[in-house]
């Protein structure tokens, strides 16, 4: 789907937005089914959007999950209602964007690892200081920069407001299941999902 095709569909706020019930399910299922969905950040400069092409699941009992040792000020959002954004700071310089999943009190989330840019590419290029489309959203920190997601988005409701996820269309590509990236060998679980052959995936 091109940027022009995306804009022609005229996605209005409140239309085609994923409901809370989508997120209030098994986290692994949600992470897989997020593929093909569309993230939109409605900004004063216009909508900035991308199609999800890569995700990772972080579940209870998983040492790599931020909630594995219980609730802290940093991960409190993960234990709240599903369908909210969990944005965290990493390596002292980047932010990553997750959707809170499962039921309230569980502490699970799906990390969005890569997007296929759809709308607002000029803004993405300015935010990323990159020109090639493949360099805009092909990684969790890159897509956060491109979409203009900040610490202020931590905890926002993804079913309403300016940052939402839309239904999109079912992906035509095959879904690849593999181990997550940057996770210790001890917890290399098959919890990473991406669309086969998609050039915007962070790592094949």
* CATH assignment at residue 118: 3.10.300.10
Of 80, 87, 129, the C-alpha closest to 102 is 80
- Residue 203 resides in a domain: no
**Mean pLDDT, rounded, of the chain:** 90
Q: Which two tokens stand for residue 134?
A: 């493949």
Q: How many domains, the chain?
A: 1
- Residue 201 resides in a domain: no
At residue 140, the pLDDT reads: 96
CB 113 within 8 A of CB 54: yes
Whether residue 159 is predicted with pLDDT greater than 50 in this model: the reply is yes
- Render pLDDT for 103-134 as a digit per residue (tens, 0 to 9): 999 999 999 999 999 999 999 999 999 999 99
> Could you tell me the CA-to-CA distances from 143 to 54, 61, 140 in Å, in that order?
11, 28, 6
Whether residue 93 is predicted with pLDDT greater than 90 in this model: the reply is no
Which domain covers residue 48, as residue numbers? 3-195
- Residue 202 resides in a domain: no
Section 180-186 average pLDDT: 79
- Residue 17 resides in a domain: yes
- Residue 80 resides in a domain: yes
At residue 5, the pLDDT reads: 54
Rounded Cα–Cα distance for residues 174 and 20 (Å): 26
Whether residue 8 is predicted with pLDDT greater than 60 in this model: the reply is no
- Residue 204 resides in a domain: no
Section 13-32 average pLDDT: 90
- Residue 59 resides in a domain: yes
């Amino acid at each position: 789907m091109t940027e022009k095709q995306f804009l022609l569909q005229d996605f209005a706020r409140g239309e085609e937005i994923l409901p809370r019930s989508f997120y209030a399910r098994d986290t692994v299922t949600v992470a897989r089914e997020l593929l093909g969905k569309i993230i939109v950040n409605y900004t004063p400069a216009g909508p900035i959007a991308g199609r999800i092409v890569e995700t990772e699941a972080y579940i209870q009992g998983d040492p790599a999950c931020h909630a594995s040792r219980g609730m802290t000020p940093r991960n409190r959002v993960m234990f709240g209602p599903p369908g909210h954004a969990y944005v965290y700071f990493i390596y002292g310089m980047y932010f990553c964007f997750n959707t809170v999943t499962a039921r309230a009190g569980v502490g699970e989330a799906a990390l969005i690892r890569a997007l296929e840019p759809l709308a607002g590419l000029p803004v993405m290029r300015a935010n990323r200081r990159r020109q090639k489309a493949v360099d805009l959203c092909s990684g969790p920190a890159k897509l956060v920069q491109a979409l203009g997601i900040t610490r202020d988005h931590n905890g926002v409701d993804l079913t309403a407001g300016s940052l939402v996820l839309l239904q999109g269309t079912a992906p035509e590509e095959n879904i690849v299941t593999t181990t997550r990236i940057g996770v210790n060998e001890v917890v290399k679980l098959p919890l990473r999902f991406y669309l086969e052959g998609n050039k915007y995936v962070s790592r094949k």
